Structure 1
Amino acid sequence: MDTIRILMLLSLFLQTILAFFGDRRKYATGFWLRFVVWLAYMSADWVATFSLGFLACSQANSANPNLIPGFWAPILLLHLGGPETITAYSLADNELWRRHLLELVIQAGVAFYVLFKLWSKNTVIFVAIPIFVSGIIKYGERIWAFTFPSLEDFGEEDISSGSSRAYEVRNVREARRLFRAFKMLSTNTLVFDCDQTETYEWVSRKHAEETFQLIEIELGFLYDRLYSKVTEISWPRVILHSITCLSSISALIFFSIMTTSKNVYSKHDTMISYLLLVGAVLLDCHSFTVLLLSDWAVIWKRKRWSRSMGQHLLTSAPSNKPVKELRKQYFAWELNSHRRVEVSNALKELIFKQVMGKRSGHDPHTSGFNVLELLAERGVELLRRKGCFDELGWSVAGVEFTQSLLIWHVATLLCYIADLRNIGFSKERNCVMSSRSLSNYMLYLLVYRPAMLATELPGTRYAETTSHLGRLLSRKTKERMEGNCTLDEVDALSVQEVDAFFYELLRSPPTMLQTIEEEDKGEKSALLDGCRLAMSLQSLGTGNGWSNGKKWEMISEVWVEMLVYAATRCGWKEHADALAGGGELLTHVRLLMAHLGLSKQCLPEVASKQLADQSV
């Protein structure tokens, strides 16, 4: 019987972890926190189910006066209902609601069987029945939450303001209006349910920071709908939560009265029972508090996503060994730590300004408006407006997106290294910092979240580029490196060696470019083209008379174009998956564009006709 006692305490411990840490995935990117939540999520149902079956078997020996308390079974049913802060770990879990419904029927039947065996012990029944009712409510609520992401309508409930912070109230109300403007027909299809002129008017009148705050709140609503039970505030939900809280409290009171008058259980079982009942009361109170303090109810300052973006340099070369299927499914990142930087206000301003510029010059209700052409842009029109398409256009036109991304990453890094030697160069300038952070962020997506870039074999070009660089830096051991250069060998490269290599390139471009070309071996490496692009960018100051600041402004704008292009190519399922990993800047940009009418789903008449014409 010691086994069941341990399992009961373990089940309560797992529920506590999920209750207090389940919703932190919304903004946490740390591996260990997410691993603990994943482990608790995967173990909680199994432990509760196994314990329930164990208890059912133990009730066969009803003559034992020291029988383990039968009301532990309904407590396990309560645990199977899960906490308020997490219902699904990934989107795939939401598709299993029918299986959970069947499990509810089976587990409720087992718990009822245990109660039936205890029917003669009238005192215990007064403890068990309230917990049983609470367990049915919580498990049913969990199944209801599982079915929501597959429904066509995201809901019509209103937000009730309960805070004096007028600014926050206004933001949440406006974000709620935006949130109600779209429907998710499936996990990868999102369409809009109102005229995009209306949402465009809402967003276009705001500043960049305020707009990103609205989108942050809006995506917080989406996260709650997909991954937690906090999906709406309504009187039925408040009543149900009140019933569960009162049921747990009444069960605790009845058990206290029972043990005071006559206690048939052992001292250890009595202590464990008190711990389980008190734990149930506290978890119910916590769930009620989470519901009432959510963005759906009242407004208060909180962190709704990580507000940071991953950074990865071609020269960082972390280990990129194949990830096992389990880690691929539940962890979209490598175990290697990667650096993260804050998404600055300056970067938000740059993105907002550029996206607004892309949209404001076009009227979606005119026949000349082609949303697909706008979404396909990734720098061509920008370079034409800057008057440098002839020199640089080859790097964005007619080049596969992943290759273009790597070319510009190499060029941005090389330009940065070159300009560091110039007196008066400020690496803290907004355009320089935005260029560097976006360059590293896009490479981070390519390496750690390739599904979000929706490109074919995204890792191939990156692997061959790093291998190419590895051969160049290991010429003394060329015999060992010939053939297929493994990424493990590239891992040994240091940033100092790479910087030294690029400094040598800057001192003698023709010689080094020839050396790089000799080591290319006809692969899909972007290193040579990246170096050539860097030389062209550096020559803008001499041949075209550009200032260094103008050059970096253009580089930053090209990276925003690539960010926007990638955001529209990423499916909504991948964006939704990213919400459970701390959130991605790419998702915020995608929703910003959608609200401004820059989305295939935004213009049902025009976009549908264009899509139909393209498919012919």
Structure 2
Amino acid sequence: MDVSSKMGLVYLSQDIEELWNEWQIRSLMLLGLLLQIILTILGEQRKYTVGLGDFLWLAYLSSDSVAIFSLGILARSVANTTNPNLIPVFWAPLLLVHIGGPGTISAYSMHELDKLLINHLLQLVTRVGVVGYVLFRLRENAFMLVAIPIFISGMIKYGERIWVFKRNKESNNLSQQPFAKRPCIPSEDLISLTDSSSEVSYLHEAHLLFKTSKMLFQNLDLVNLDQRITYDLVSEKNAEEAFQLTEIELGLKYDRLYSKVATVSWPRFIIRSVTFLSSIFALVSFSIMIKSKSVYSKNDRIISYVLLSGVVCLESYSIIGHLFSDWTMIWLIRLEKTFPNLYTTRCFSLLLSFSRKRKRWSRLMGQHNLISALSKKPVNKLRKKYFPGNWNIHSRVDADKDLKELIFKQVMHKRSRYERLRYERSKNYPDTSDFPVLLKLLEERGCNSLQSKGCFHELGWSVDDAEFSHSLLTWHIATHVCYIDDSRKNGFVNYQNCAMSRSLSNYMLYLLVQCPNMLAIELSGTRYTDTRIHLHRLLFIRNAHKEAENHIPMDKLDALSFPKAQVKAFFYELLQSPSTMLKEIREQEEEKSAQSPSTMLKEIREQEEEKSAQSPSTMVKQIREQEEEKSALLDGCRLAMSLQSSELQDGWPNEKKWEMISEVWVEMLMYAASHSRWKEHADALGRGGELLTHVCILMAHLGLSKQCRPPALSKQLDEYFPGPVVSGNEV
């Protein structure tokens, strides 16, 4: 390379370095504003939109990092430069506004509520100190008039974020407080709204339910007073109305956990007005001063306008969103005594109608089908391990009106059975608690539906004698096989119960695979994996290598996919020759379970080379766990054959079979809801929501929860209520 070329590279590198030094802080400031816009918009949308998790998480983490990095560059530039007008003085307080975050998202996940409070308090001191240092260095700058209101706004927003963390942490520690056993609903809130519109009643009733749900999410028992109120509120509603109440209630819970939008009060109104007027004042002051003193470059003036205008727009968006939130509507409802004519105004009626119809969760159910997954392209191992995402979700379907009616009908039926059993127990054991009756009902996962249809003797083994995950997989396989068989029959109509059974079956398997923590059940082994590998092994041997040995490495089996025609052919043959196919499935299962420990140890080592350094005791434990695993494929096929058998269908319409299957799935859904943990439900609120959460809180409001302990005597409840408290639209 000649001398001229070397000199050209040197000049080029110097130009690049000068360009970077000039634009690094400017580009970071614009990037910070962009991240704030993304968080403001998506922070609200993730309440009712699925699939935003990874992108929003990246923006959430990047926002603070970009702001802190920019603040460090500003502090260094101010300390080293002799020209105090090189960088606009108000850029540093703008970064404090960015660190405070938008109102729509204060926390990304539940663990932040407990772990980040002290961290944010320390960060407040250090970051305010750095901003104060920058302002002190540029104290003689003429544009300090612009910087001061922005600094005040930033302090308020950051302090508001810390207050949200502190409020939620104190709320989570309510179980340690002496008043935890008091009723959650004050007597002054039990006001009559019979003369008000239905929209007013719904918001007020949902807010009353929200107050009791705080005890539920903290794993505290509801007092009898609250149980009576919530039961009267929900039991008088139809399915659509009851689920709408839970939707509004959980929307309020989401706002309380993950955003700064909470109870509206005059102090919060004043604070919001101060931040908004501060941003307006800063923009106007900058516009006036820049005309008389052009101390900044053209690029800096343009960027400053963009940044200040962005702050004003974000503040305006936040205020508008707050004005149209459920919290503002509830606050206005409480002003009835002050403004008695407020309810009759046309504008307020339109706001209430809009608020009631607004989405507060995705209203979607994730779908995962074990058999359909056989035909899908396998997912890369690295993506499974490091980017779990939604690769287990095949699709999402609506939780429609018919499904809600089916669930609500089953929940109310369980509640009526509970009342009847409580009455019978009170006659025989008048001085004992009814809690054992409730626990027994909550343990049902399909047996009552089978008994009501007279099928428990033939099919009870599938729900009573198996671990829950095994029972779930058994019914999932049977549901799909029954659908395959019925689809081939002439005159088969895809009944509404059939469609609901399939969507619930796929939804429950989605929870088992994608959200196992929500089920909160001690799952023995890996039933799902064992069942999938069992089916893979059968299809591989039958269709690809009939002469191959059965001991195929599991990693190879897991990476296989099969054409839909081969998968259908397998189950068609099962339906045509059930005894032959069931025997083959049983032999394949027994052959796998009969593998010697040495063979299984070798297979584990081949599959997981990265775990080769494990101790012998750990490896032996793995072997024992695998020996205890059991595929649900055989039981699922047996159950399908029983459901499709002529003995079971003799004089029994096909539609009635699907009605029973749908009821079994609703019972399994209720069983999962009654055994789930509230912390997992709170996490699910930030992912678009889950149907399981709505079923869980609906059951709790109707007294079907372990946190709804009944009194020993029914008369004890009447001591709190001399008469009815809530009826119809009364609150």
With structure 1 as the length reference, what TM-score do the two structures score?
0.91
2:705 and 2:121 map into 1 onto residues whose CA distance is 36
2:688 corresponds to which residue? 582
2:462 corresponds to which residue? 395
Quote the offset at 1:441 in angstroms: 0.6
2:23 and 2:698 map into 1 onto residues whose CA distance is 56
1:568 and 1:379 map into 2 onto residues whose CA distance is 14
2:488 and 2:383 map into 1 onto residues whose CA distance is 43
1:279 and 1:578 map into 2 onto residues whose CA distance is 31
RMSD of aligned residue pairs (Cα, Å): 2.6
Contact 1:380 1:397 in 2 (8 A): yes
Quote the offset at 1:23 in angstroms: 1.5
Distance 1:145 1:572, change over 3 A: same
Deviation sequence 1:157-203 (CA, Å, 0-9, x none)? 999xxxxx944333222111111123248x66254354312211111
1:143 corresponds to which residue? 162
1:354 maps to amino acid? Q
Contact 1:150 1:184 in 2 (8 A): no
2:535 corresponds to which residue? 469
1:46 and 1:205 map into 2 onto residues whose CA distance is 51
Is 1:97 paired with 2:166? no
Q: Which has the larger radius of gyration?
A: 2
3-state SS of the aligned residue for 1:309?
strand
1:358 corresponds to which residue? 414
2:698 maps to amino acid? L
2:588 and 2:453 map into 1 onto residues whose CA distance is 34
Contact 1:26 1:305 in 2 (8 A): yes
1:221 and 1:17 map into 2 onto residues whose CA distance is 22
2:485 corresponds to which residue? 418
3-state SS of the aligned residue for 2:488?
coil
Is 1:57 paired with 2:76? yes
Quote the offset at 1:51 in angstroms: 0.8
Contact 1:414 1:531 in 2 (8 A): yes
Aligned residues: 595
3-state SS of the aligned residue for 1:341?
strand
Is 1:549 paired with 2:655? yes
Is 1:189 paired with 2:189? no
Distance 1:191 1:256, change over 3 A: farther
2:553 and 2:220 map into 1 onto residues whose CA distance is 43
Quote the offset at 1:422 in angstroms: 2.2
1:66 and 1:269 map into 2 onto residues whose CA distance is 11
The 5-angstrom pairing of residues 159-308 of structure 1 reads: 166-184=197-215, 189-192=219-222, 194-298=225-329, 299=352, 300=354, 301-308=357-364
1:48 corresponds to which residue? 67
Quote the offset at 1:275 in angstroms: 1.1
1:530 corresponds to which residue? 636
Quote the offset at 1:231 in angstroms: 1.3
Contact 1:467 1:487 in 2 (8 A): no
* Structure 1, gaps ≥5 residues long: 160-164, 608-616
What is the aligned counterpart of 1:504 among 573, 576, 595? 573
Deviation sequence 1:315-362 (CA, Å, 0-9, x none)? 13254666779957xx6x434652111111111111000011101222
Contact 1:470 1:490 in 2 (8 A): no
What is the aligned counterpart of 1:449 among 502, 515, 530? 515
1:334 corresponds to which residue? 390
3-state SS of the aligned residue for 1:340?
strand
What is the aligned counterpart of 2:440 among 373, 383, 403? 373
2:632 and 2:229 map into 1 onto residues whose CA distance is 43
1:455 maps to amino acid? I
Q: Select between 516-525 and 253-262 the one with higher mean Cα deviation.
A: 516-525
Quote the offset at 1:540 in angstroms: 5.9
Contact 2:100 2:154 in 1 (8 A): yes
Distance 1:460 1:542, change over 3 A: closer
Q: Select between 385-394 and 481-490 the one with higher mean Cα deviation.
A: 481-490
3-state SS of the aligned residue for 1:371?
helix
2:86 corresponds to which residue? 67
Quote the offset at 1:371 in angstroms: 1.8
1:571 maps to amino acid? R
Is 1:409 paired with 2:429? no
1:513 corresponds to which residue? 582
1:147 and 1:202 map into 2 onto residues whose CA distance is 32
1:442 maps to amino acid? M
Contact 1:447 1:459 in 2 (8 A): no
Contact 2:33 2:310 in 1 (8 A): yes
Distance 1:287 1:53, change over 3 A: same
Quote the offset at 1:458 in angstroms: 7.0
3-state SS of the aligned residue for 2:104?
coil
Is 1:119 paired with 2:225? no
1:442 and 1:489 map into 2 onto residues whose CA distance is 22
1:3 corresponds to which residue? 24
1:529 maps to amino acid? D
Q: Select between 195-204 and 584-593 the one with higher mean Cα deviation.
A: 195-204
1:460 and 1:592 map into 2 onto residues whose CA distance is 31
Deviation sequence 1:220-269 (CA, Å, 0-9, x none)? 11111111111111111111000000001111111112111112111111
Distance 1:458 1:286, change over 3 A: farther
1:387 and 1:542 map into 2 onto residues whose CA distance is 10
1:360 maps to amino acid? S
Contact 1:450 1:458 in 2 (8 A): no
1:487 and 1:242 map into 2 onto residues whose CA distance is 63
Contact 1:466 1:490 in 2 (8 A): no
Distance 1:181 1:382, change over 3 A: same
What is the aligned counterpart of 2:564 among 495, 505, 514? 495
2:639 and 2:392 map into 1 onto residues whose CA distance is 30
Deviation sequence 1:275-298 (CA, Å, 0-9, x none)? 111111111111111111111113
Distance 1:543 1:3, change over 3 A: closer
Quote the offset at 1:541 in angstroms: 5.3
Distance 1:481 1:129, change over 3 A: farther
2:659 and 2:566 map into 1 onto residues whose CA distance is 29
2:445 and 2:169 map into 1 onto residues whose CA distance is 33
Contact 1:7 1:51 in 2 (8 A): yes
Contact 1:575 1:587 in 2 (8 A): yes
Quote the offset at 1:384 in angstroms: 2.2
* Structure 2, gaps ≥5 residues long: 1-21, 175-183, 191-195, 330-351, 427-432, 594-628, 714-731
Contact 2:434 2:712 in 1 (8 A): no
Contact 1:315 1:495 in 2 (8 A): no
1:610 corresponds to which residue? none
